[in-house]
Amino acid sequence: MQEESLTLENGTLSYLTGGDGPLVVFSHALGPMAWGSLEQLRRSCTVAIPDWERSTVPPRTMAELDWFEPLVTATGFDVAALCAWSMAGPAAIYFGAEPPACLSHLILVDVAGLGPDLPPLRLSEIPHLLLTRLRGYPTRGLVRTMWRNWVHEDNIDTRPFEEPTYRFFRDVARNLEDPTGDDEDDDDEEELIDILPDVQVPTLVLSGRHSTVLGPRHGKIAAALLPDGTHVVFDRSSHTLQLEEADRFQETLAAFLTGGPLESADRNG
């Protein structure tokens, strides 16, 4: 894919892009590493992936999604789908509840905050949840254990992912050493699960059969709460289904975005 950059008000956003067809933008702190090559998907869709380590925008910009519309415009499209994995999912759900005109579809990949191990989140709590789960600064050993728990079968070498994940968690911890928590509107903010009925675009919910982050039962519940939700389970995966079942993941996204049939899908709406 081709490396490009986009100048925003608070810095430069670097991203990779390539492919042919409708645009889908991928969101996660690990950037392109989180998604693999997406070579198969790029045959039927255009792909754009922000590369946060190469960008100069502040870390909070990633979750706020203010960069989405400028990125869509920069790639020459009027509309695009947003695909978010794990901790990027909650912000994507809030984004889909009041979508800009340029958002066409939402794809939630084993998202955090809706499953058995994580409480329903409010948007303001997303960064703080990392500190709660990590209980302070992360260690490389903890990150290694997390990644090994996120993969069901031993078909993924998690070592390349561990150091970037450690750096991300470390930076989050540093940025939130002294959170003020003074936002007087926080008490009125709705929890994540309460936002789902307000999501106004067709939404695909993907869950790994063996995941403890979302999982099939909670993925089905989430999809049922969406006005136009579709749920697909990946039977041989845990939390990293986009890597563990990469071919099926890309086939599923291509079908969802181009109107093709979805294998083993539960549909609502």
More confident residue, 173 or 64: 64
Banded pLDDT at 217 (limits 50, 70, 90):
very high
Q: Strand pairing of 46-50 and 80-85? A: unpaired
What's the pLDDT band for 17 if we cut at 50, 70, 90? Answer: very high
- What would the pLDDT profile of 96-126 be if each residue is shown by its tens digit? 999 999 999 999 999 988 887 666 666 666 6
**CA dihedral sign, ordered 252, 151, 226, 200:** negative
Q: What is the pLDDT of residue 113?
A: 85
47 phi and psi angles, rounded to 5 deg? -115, 140
Question: Does position 248 have pLDDT exceeding 60, yes or no?
Answer: yes
Instruction: Assess whether pLDDT exceeds 70 at residue 211.
Output: yes
Q: pLDDT (tens digit, 9 = 90+) per residue, 125-161? A: 665 555 555 556 678 888 888 898 899 988 899 999 9
What's the pLDDT at 236?
A: 95
Where residue 182 falls among pLDDT bands split at 50, 70, 90?
very low
Query: What is the C-alpha separation between 60 and 195, in angstroms, rounded?
Result: 21
Q: Per the structure block, which two tokens stand in for 20?
A: 């042919």
Q: Which residues pair with 88 in a beta bridge?
A: none
Among residues 53, 66, 49, the alpha carbon closest in space to that of 8 is found at: 66
pTM for the predicted model, two decimal places: 0.90
When pLDDT is averaged across residues 47-71 and rounded to a whole number, the result is 90
Per-residue pLDDT, averaged over 57-80, amounts to 91
Question: Looking at per-residue confidence, does 65 or 135 come out higher?
Answer: 65
The overall longest dimension of the chain from CA atoms, in Å, is: 49
Higher pLDDT, 253 or 129: 253
Is the Cβ–Cβ distance between 91 and 121 less than 8 Å?
Answer: no
Q: What is the rounded average pLDDT of the residues 199-205?
A: 96
Question: What's residue 127's pLDDT?
Answer: 56
Complete domains list, the chain, with CATH: 2-119+193-267 (3.40.50.1820)
Residue 176: predicted pLDDT: 61
pLDDT confidence tier of residue 180, bands split at 50, 70 and 90: very low
Alpha helix (H) ranges present in the chain?
60-64, 68-74, 89-97, 126-134, 140-150, 159-175, 192-195, 215-225, 241-244, 246-258
203-208 and 23-27 beta bridge pairing: unpaired
pLDDT band at 177 (very low <50, low <70, confident <90, very high): low
